Homo-oligomer: A and B are copies of this chain.
Amino acid sequence: MGHRHTIHQHHLGWDNSFAPVVHAAPGESIEFDVVDAAGGQLSGASSAADIGRLDFSRINPVTGPVHIDGAEPGDVLQVTVLSFAPSGWGWTANIPGFGLLAEEFREPALHLWRYDPSTLAPALFGQWGKVPLKPFAGTIGVAPAAPGLHSIVPPRRVGGNMDIRDIAAGTELFLPVEVPGALFSVGDTHAAQGDGEVCGTAIESPMRVALQFDLIKQVPLSYPRFRTPGPVTRHLDAKGYEVTTGIGPDLMQAARAAVGSMLDLLTRSHGLPAIDAYLLCSVCGDLRISEIVDIPNWTVSFYFPRTVLE
């Protein structure tokens, strides 16, 4: 595909002592073979019982690391997302103890997806609806300066598991470099996800990802930032949204209330079982902060695209 390297090696956790598998010069593009967030432990034959049997020491593998020639702490690594070659299958799970409403949803659940990797036509969610797709990498980042092995689950200043659904094809991502060579890795590809990833998983789907690397020397950057080339929600906004709110002095509680109310609405109006509504909200609904200034109560809204069910 015109890339000098395709990387297949994965690692578990961030550790700046990991040896790079490839060296890349600024301007170079590389293809990454990304496995799903369960590291291949699930397949088209899996069921909810397999969620209970997951080996969490194998969760969230990332492909890399790539040493960027000349990268030094204080630099910014610019990553241009060139393209995705999705696999056509994926999964969404409720993993007990994980997710915004973990208290309410204590049982494992698993939904398996099939989609057309060439057309990326909206993917059927059982009898309930169709979810527009937009592939992106949930985990994308560089090694932290702090020595030792660090979990990949939480995102950090250097990026990682940010789960930002708009880091899609055409986006330019800017990451703060903390170690020589940057040590870039990518993983956790998703075929679709809403803002919040409320059940804790998206449409988890292995893909190939092509990225280009550039270096910006010694520019201050507190946290990752990015630039999208165009609109970010036109694949799903055509029919508008159903929106629920949560209002109160705690953003987390308000977010839980907003999502809980959406589950009530979807179960009451459309007959979805609550667990299905929860998984569906995670792959296509968006958590927004409508206001964060009207002391002492904030408004968090959850936007569910009507096109999914209509």
Contact = CB atoms under 8 A, between A and B. Distances in A.
Interface of A: 98-100, 153-157, 161-166, 195-200, 220-234, 237-247, 251-252, 255, 257-258, 260-261, 264-265, 286-297, 299-301, 303, 306
Contact of A240 (B220, B227, B244, B306): B227
Contact of A228 (B163, B243, B294): B243
Q: Of A100, A221, A225, which is in contact with the most chain B CB atoms at under 10 Å from its CB?
A: A225
Q: Give the number of times this chain occurs in the complex, counting copies.
A: 2
Nearest to A170: B240
Classify the interface of chain A: helix, strand, loop or mixed: loop
Given A155-B299, A292-B196, A296-B154, A240 B245 contact: no
Q: Of A155, A239, A255, which is in contact with the most chain B CB atoms at under 10 Å from its CB?
A: A155
A164 B290 contact: yes
Nearest to A153: B294
A70 B225 CA distance: 52
Contact of A164 (B245, B286, B297): B245
Given A164-B245, A238-B230, A291-B164, A222 B153 contact: no
A163 B290 contact: yes
Given A164-B299, A228-B243, A197 B293 contact: yes
A288 B290 contact: no
6 contacts: A165-B290, A195-B289, A223-B261, A225-B244, A229-B240, A232-B237
Contacts of A290: 162-165, 195-197
Nearest to A221: B261
Given A154-B295, A255-B289, A222 B162 contact: no
B198 A297 contact: no
A196 B230 contact: no
Contact of A225 (B225, B265, B289): B265
A250 to B, nearest CB: 9
A161 B294 contact: yes
Contact of A255 (B252, B292, B306): B292
Given A223-B258, A233-B233, A291-B196, A297 B156 contact: yes
Contact of A237 (B234, B297, B299): B234
A291 to B, nearest CB: 4
Contacts of A195: 288-291, 301
